[in-house]
Amino acid sequence: MTIETTSRAVESGPDTATVTSVALPSDRPRSALTAWCVDHRWWVVLISTLVFAGAVALMAGGIRTTPQDQQLVGDSAQAEAVLAGTDLTAKPMESVIATARAGSWTAEQALAVGTQLAAAYRGVEGVARVGDPFPGADGRSVVVPFELAARASEADESLPKAAAVVGPSLAVTERLRGEHPEWQLGQVGSGSVAKAFDDTLGRDFQRAELVSLPITLLVLLVAFGAVLAAGVPLLLGIGSVAVALGLTAAISRGWVSVDPNTQSLVLLIGLAVGVDYALFVLRRTREERAAGASVQDAIVAAGATAGRAVLVSGLTVMVAMAGMLVAGGLFTSLAVGTLLVVGVAVLASATVLPAVLGILGDRIDSLRLPFARRRAARAAGSAVTESVWGRLAGRVVARPVAWAAVATALLAGLAVPALGMRTSLSGIEGLPAELPIVTAYRQLEAAAPTEGVSLLVVVKAPVERAADVRAALAAVGPTAAALEHVSGVAPQARTSSDGTVSVLAVGVGLDSSDRALPGVVDRLRADVVPQVTRALGQSGDVQVHVGGYAAATDLARWMDSRLPWVVGFVLVLTLLVMLVSFGSPALAVATVGLNLLSVGAAYGVTTAVFQGTWAERLLGFTSIGSIASWLPLLMFVVLFGLSMDYHVFVTSRVREARDAGLDPRAAVRLGVARSAGVVTSAAAVMVAVFAIFGTLSVLEMKQLGVGLAVAVLLDATVVRGVLLPATLALLGEHAHRGPSWLPRIHH
């Protein structure tokens, strides 16, 4: 393969620079798969259309999601399993609270209002029993509790979920709010909170879908300057998401239920990588076409170069996503969804895209926008290395040590706040403060303040030992009450109707996200549980567990404990993939190091933004002083995978230039310059999609969107534009050579 000394302007597209031909027409690389797809293009399109239709049909059956209690882990999960089969699990409760907007109420006035409210909810569909009203502690409120006709736990399938039956009572609350403007009226409970989460997420994701598509199309229009060329990658991304969701739906109904966040993650990742992979191949096709290749030769050459880079990139992304399989638990279904959508996107870019390009031919540039020709005309006669990124790459390779030091210092500085990262599982505080459910919750807290959370000591034993169990639980009451932060212990244990399960409630004067709560759980298990076990004897038919709000602590700890295993798995496999792809141990190690810097900077920015309060008004959220427990692990696998898109594409272009005869530093400059346009466009698509998720209402989704958007922006600019060229320049020939026994995908 040789590099031509002449260059020609890209007249068929809006690329900002003249493209130097990669190879003479006679020795352009070829892909047998791409050639076959082009030759049989109508069959490929027909089959892919049938696959798409089948996926849509599978989606119509819905996706079976994992119930919340089945996501629990450890000792608290065992406690929940013991309670699930008894009558000790209380039915879902709701509370309606009315507060005088002016003045205060006497006890008689409060009870009169409460009696009026209680009568309004009796007989309402979904309401099983209305409790007695009681006045609030603030002297101007009254609370009416009522029980929903819903399942007490997910194991009880004889009744519907609370969120499914709470609607009629919420309608009554809304009606009463209009009839009595003199009251501040709210409703809060397990059913209304679950429904608020579902409704808020549903509205958010619908808005994200509606906004992300036109923004992505706009970015692609700027990148390609033609409507048809911009629409093809977008349709490929949408198709990849649809097929992956259909397959996920089938798996959820026939194999394993999926986490409720799986659908949003599939949309987030699928649209980004689907568009990016099509963008890589399409831009390379236009480049080859502008260099003099026929339509078919250009497509086949793009498949052998950009298509090969997409294959390596997709494989690395899938390796990273597979890290969630190592974590297990609720991450398993997230892994399945993301693996499917990335795999489908890679397959579509390797088969469907060449077929579509073969059908369209030069018509891919139909419906050109006015600015496209003007931009191409301005670029005519200029060298590709004289673009902005080309000139920057030239400066970087001239002084790689200085540039690498500055870029590394910047990323390391951004990563520093991550050292103070705190994680927790948020509840209602993760919803927007202006929602009625949040207002009602604050209103109830002011009127009937609760003393923190409740932990449960759960004991299962044979029925003939019920008296011994009650005595043992009574004996540990003083021990539990003496623990720090414990606000009270129930005077006696509650026992199930069959006499086999007993529960002792322990009140803790802490919020559910308080950092001291895990310590209380630990002391309860270390001091109280052994005392109960000793009193009942070391019998195999006796089980003692700690449940209740301990479940949130156990799940958060489990997530934190899985992160090192996932990180190790992803790092090792990424190293192996890069070794096989490029055959250079030095390049493989450098790749891992660059990606770790990128992820660390993303962690630091996310921590600085969301653990503090300075960005609350800017981004529209209320800080809870912590990051979602699942976010560090998910962000690591997603960012580590997605950053490989740019890394592989840039490095493969550098490798092409080096193999064609340029010296290492000249190859770096040319490779970065050639890939700059597509990397910039691809990054713009990803940042736009992720930033939209940063505008969602639910705090955890906002954290994910902002974290990913900032990370991709840093990765596409500081890392791929400065640090990667500097690293490749410093590695020199070592970036392109390694042991002869190592296989190489990129020759």
Q: How far apart are CA 240 and CA 246, in angstroms?
A: 10
Q: What is the pLDDT of residue 691?
A: 87
Give yes or no on whether 93-196 and 442-554 have one common fold.
yes
Q: Which two tokens stand for residue 560?
A: 């934190």
Position 174 confidence tier, pLDDT thresholds 50, 70, 90: very high
CATH class of 93-196: alpha beta
- CB of 169 closer than 8 Å to CB of 187: yes
Q: Looking at the whole model, is its pTM more than 0.85? A: no
How is the chain split into domains, by residue range?
1-61+225-373, 93-196, 442-554
Q: Which two tokens stand for residue 518?
A: 């895990």
User: Does the structure show a pLDDT above 90 at 676?
Assistant: no
User: Does the structure show a pLDDT above 80 at 254?
Assistant: no
**What confidence tens digit (pLDDT) does each residue in 567-578 have?**
999 999 888 888
Q: How far apart are CA 202 and CA 206, in angstroms?
A: 6
CATH hierarchy code of domain 442-554:
3.30.70.100
Q: What is the pLDDT of residue 384?
A: 59
**What confidence tens digit (pLDDT) does each residue in 58-116 have?**
988 777 776 666 677 888 888 888 888 787 777 788 999 999 998 888 888 989 999 99
Q: What is the mean pLDDT of residues 182-194?
A: 91
3-state secondary structure of 494: strand
- CB of 307 closer than 8 Å to CB of 329: no
| Secondary structure of 356-389 in HEC code, one letter for each residue | HHHHHHHHHHCCECHHHHHHHHHHCCCCHHHCHH
Angle at which helix 724-731 crosses helix 631-659, to 10 degrees, equals 50
C-alpha distances in angstroms, 628 versus 59, 145, 549, 552, 617? 29, 31, 17, 12, 20
Position 408 confidence tier, pLDDT thresholds 50, 70, 90: very high
Q: Which residues contact 450 (CB under 8 A, 6 or more apart)?
A: none
Looking at the DSSP bridge assignments, the partners of residue 129 are 147
Mean pLDDT of all residues belonging to the chain: 84
**What confidence tens digit (pLDDT) does each residue in 513-567 have?**
677 888 999 999 999 999 999 998 867 789 999 988 787 788 888 888 889 999 9
**What confidence tens digit (pLDDT) does each residue in 627-663 have?**
988 899 989 998 888 887 788 888 888 988 888 889 8
Q: What is the mean pLDDT of residues 396-425?
A: 94
- Closest to 359 (Cα-Cα) out of 703, 44, 718: 44
- In sequence order, what DSSP letters do the residues of 636-687 get, joined into one string? HHHHHHHHHHHHHHHHHHHHHHHHTT--HHHHHHHHHHHHHHHHHHHHHHHH
Q: Where are the alpha helices (DSSP H) in 328-453?
A: 331-350, 352-360, 370-379, 388-398, 400-415, 436-447
CATH superfamily, domain 1-61+225-373, is: Multidrug efflux transporter AcrB transmembrane domain (1.20.1640.10)
Q: What is the pLDDT of residue 327?
A: 87
- Closest to 320 (Cα-Cα) out of 651, 567, 599: 567
Q: What is the pLDDT of residue 632?
A: 92
Q: What is the pLDDT of residue 549?
A: 79
C-alpha distances in angstroms, 634 versus 259, 269, 506, 707? 13, 12, 34, 11
Q: What is the mean pLDDT of residues 290-312?
A: 88
Q: How far apart are CA 310 and CA 348, in angstroms?
A: 11
Greater model confidence, 80 or 409: 409
Q: What is the mean pLDDT of residues 698-726?
A: 90
**What confidence tens digit (pLDDT) does each residue in 207-251 have?**
777 788 888 888 888 888 888 888 999 999 999 999 999 999 888
Chain-centre distance of CA 360, in angstroms?
36
Which of 55-69, 116-130, 156-170, 210-224 shows the highest mean pLDDT?
A: 116-130
Of the given ranges (156-160, 323-327, 406-410, 420-424), which has the lowest mean pLDDT? 156-160
- CB of 645 closer than 8 Å to CB of 721: no
- Closest to 65 (Cα-Cα) out of 187, 167, 201, 170: 201
Pairing verdict, β 486-489 and 141-148: unpaired
User: Does the structure show a pLDDT above 60 at 11?
Assistant: no
User: Does the structure show a pLDDT above 80 at 380?
Assistant: no
DSSP 8-state secondary structure symbol assigned to residue 18 = -
- Closest to 304 (Cα-Cα) out of 691, 622, 30: 30
DSSP 8-state secondary structure symbol assigned to residue 182 = T
Which of 375-379, 425-429, 662-666, 691-695 shows the highest mean pLDDT?
A: 662-666
**What confidence tens digit (pLDDT) does each residue in 14-56 have?**
333 333 333 434 456 677 899 999 999 999 999 999 999 999 9
- Closest to 287 (Cα-Cα) out of 6, 3, 9: 9
Chain-centre distance of CA 18, in angstroms?
39
Q: What is the pLDDT of residue 680?
A: 85
Pairing verdict, β 627-628 and 423-424: parallel
Q: What is the mean pLDDT of residues 330-342?
A: 88
Q: What is the pLDDT of residue 21?
A: 36
